[in-house]
């Protein structure tokens, strides 16, 4: 089990010792990928955030480095993308289905690596855009 997050008081931490990602009804493919990298128990922040995001609600959360924030928001996004893909028989969609904005290039690279790893076998492409195209920056003249 992950160490507790000192920024969140959780009196029921012992009850959560047996918590599994399967509780959230995530796509089995994501559960398999998590198991392959030995991630089987959600952190406290993941247990709080994942159910909210799976319901399609907005949230704002903060926790220290290493608390599991990336998977807290990435798993619900990838779960939705996989389920949408299955619903439409794997048809390709020519537009972005999700956009994640991050404040630093290094963080964006880390999140991109995690996203690619979790979806590498399932036909979901992840792109890292670390520069703004000149066409986006053209002046109105």
Q: What is the pLDDT of residues 75-101, one digit of tens each?
A: 999 999 998 877 776 666 667 788 899
Question: What's the pLDDT at 8?
Answer: 53
Q: Are 81 and 100 in contact (CB under 8 A)?
A: no
- Going along the chain from its start, the domains and CATH numbers come out as 13-97 (3.40.50.300)
Q: Structure pTM?
A: 0.78
Question: What's the pLDDT at 84?
Answer: 84
Q: Given a cut of 60, is residue 133 above it in pLDDT? A: no
* CB burial of residue 39 (10 Å; 0-12, 13-18, 19+): middle
What average pLDDT does range 112-134 have in this prediction?
84
Question: What's the pLDDT at 141?
Answer: 46
């Amino acid at each position: 089990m992950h160490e507790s997050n000192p920024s969140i008081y959780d009196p029921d931490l012992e009850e959560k010792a047996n918590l599994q990602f399967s509780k959230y009804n995530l796509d089995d493919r994501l559960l398999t990928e998590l198991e392959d990298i030995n991630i089987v128990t959600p952190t406290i922040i993941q247990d709080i955030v994942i159910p909210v995001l799976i319901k399609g609600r907005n949230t704002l959360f903060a926790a220290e480095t290493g608390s599991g924030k990336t998977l807290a928001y990435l798993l619900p996004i990838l779960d939705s993308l996989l389920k949408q893909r299955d619903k439409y028989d794997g048809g390709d969609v020519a537009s972005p289905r999700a956009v994640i904005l991050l404040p630093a290039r290094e963080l964006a690279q880390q999140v991109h690596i995690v996203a690619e790893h979790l979806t590498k076998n399932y036909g979901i492409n992840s792109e890292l855009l670390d520069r703004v195209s000149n066409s986006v920056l053209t002046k109105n003249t």
